[in-house]
Amino acid sequence: MLVSVTLTFVILRLMPGDPAEVLVDPRMTAEVRAQLLADFGLDKPLWQQYFIYMANLLKGNLGISFKTLLPVMQIISTRIWWTILLMGVSFVVTLIVGIPLGVLAAVRRDSAVDRLITAVSIFGNAIFVPWLAISLLYLFGYLLPVFPIGGAVEIGAVGWERIKSIMYHLVLPVSSLLIINLARYVLFLRTSMVEVLQEDYVRTAQAKGVRGGVIVYKHALRNAFLPTLTMMGLQLGYLVGGAVLTETVYAYPGVGRLIYESVKQHDYPVLQGTFIVLALAVIVANILTDLFYSLLDPRVRFD
């Protein structure tokens, strides 16, 4: 954790360009510019800035945004829930769609079905995210005006209307993310399944007369799932970073879009804060993955 924070700090500071550039109007006099730098502590030597930052961090203070002048913690905490919602829903949907597809592709290996599934997955993986997002918006938001164009919720909606509105606004972004992320789960799972289905114990079960479905789901999948689980765990941490491009195109007010906007505006405190939260999320996700692993695989236990 310490390493992540330190690295983030140093890298951001070493980036070319004076952070004061963005804050400063070229017509300002030298004194005004100097004052601006002093206000944000950018005139102190780097090591001093570092220690001040670490001290604040331990107090839970992520600093103040250069631009909005609001506390970084506040900015991130308002937006993080949208990202968690978007990513959470998309994660679950991708699993629900991805696992059966992966299994199907493995079981019907080399058939037309398998080839179709594989092709679609690779397509989704290779596609340019903003293009996909805009295309979906164009097709289902404009040509067939079924879904809203951007945003997370209808302004001013309350109660049940609000919940419905949020769901409506989720459909297109989640569909985008589904198409993009499908490849990972489908292809990964398919490969593991294919391997597992060739294992001895599977053939034993078949010989014993166990029904196909049971073999596939109870025995094979459980084992094939392990590598996929590891990958999911790694993904979980990045969920919080959000799909930057997706959130931006869909005008979804999450943390991913926050990163994009802060980079554009050189808002270092916000960027730093977001990276720290990201690092934390990855660490937590890894811990959770390990715990889950032990549940699935009785061979793994913590001492």
Partner 1 sequence: MDKMKGKWEKKFSVLMLVSMLVLALSAWTLAAAQPTFGGTLRVGTLSDPDTLNVLQSNSVSASWILNLMYPSLMVMNEAGDKVPYLAKEWGYSPDGLTAWFELRDDVKWEDGTPITSKDVKFTAEVTVNHKIGFNASLLADVKEIRTPSPTRVEFALSEPYGPFLASVGFWLRVVPEHIWKDVEDPKRFPNTNPVGAGPFKLVKYEIGQYYELEAVDSWFDAPAGRPYLDKVFFKVYPDINTMILALQRGDIDIVANPIPPAAAARLKATPGIKTAQTASLGYVYFTFNQHREQSKALQDVRVRKAIAHAVNEEMIRAMVLRGNAKDVAVAVSPVLGSWHNPNVKSYEYDPEKAKAILDEAGYKDTNGDGVRETPSGDKLSFELLYDGGNANIAKAMKMVADDLQKVGIGVTHVALERNGYLAQFRKLDYDIAAGGWGIMDEPADYLYLLYHSSTYGPDGINRSGINDPELDELIDEARRALDDKKAKEYVWKVQERLKELVPEVHLWVETYILAYRDNFAGYGVYPSDLRGMVDPQSLVRVYKVK
Which residues of this protein are in contact with partner 1, per CB under 8 A? 15-18, 21, 23, 25-32, 35-36, 39, 64, 67-70, 75, 78-79, 130, 134, 137-138, 141-142, 145, 148-153, 155, 248-251, 253, 257-258, 260-261, 265
* Number of helical H runs and strand E runs in the chain: 14, 0
Q: What is the DSSP letter of 67?
A: T
User: b vs e for 258-293, b when ≥16 Cβ sit within 10 Å of the residue's Cβ?
Assistant: bbeebeebbbbbbbbbbbbbbbebbeebeeebeeeb
CB closer to partner 1 out of 151 and 227: 151
Amino acid (one-letter) located at 229: L
CB of 278 to partner 1, least distance (A): 18
The count of other CB atoms within 10 Å of the CB of residue 151 is 15
CB closer to partner 1 out of 52 and 234: 52
CB of 90 to partner 1, least distance (A): 18
Token pair in block for residue 73: 């913690």
CB of 8 to partner 1, least distance (A): 18
CB closer to partner 1 out of 230 and 265: 265
- Among 220, 190, 227, 217, residue whose Cα is nearest residue 114: 190
Token pair in block for residue 4: 């992540």
3-state secondary structure of 128: coil
CB closer to partner 1 out of 159 and 298: 159
3-state secondary structure of 119: helix
CB of 45 to partner 1, least distance (A): 20
The count of other CB atoms within 10 Å of the CB of residue 132 is 20
CB closer to partner 1 out of 45 and 145: 145
Put residue 177 in one of left, alpha, beta given phi > 0 → left and psi -120 to 50 → alpha.
Answer: alpha
CB of 285 to partner 1, least distance (A): 25
CB closer to partner 1 out of 137 and 189: 137
CB of 275 to partner 1, least distance (A): 19
CB of 149 to partner 1, least distance (A): 5
CB closer to partner 1 out of 183 and 271: 271
Q: Which residues contact 221 (CB under 8 A, 6 or more apart)?
A: 99, 103, 193
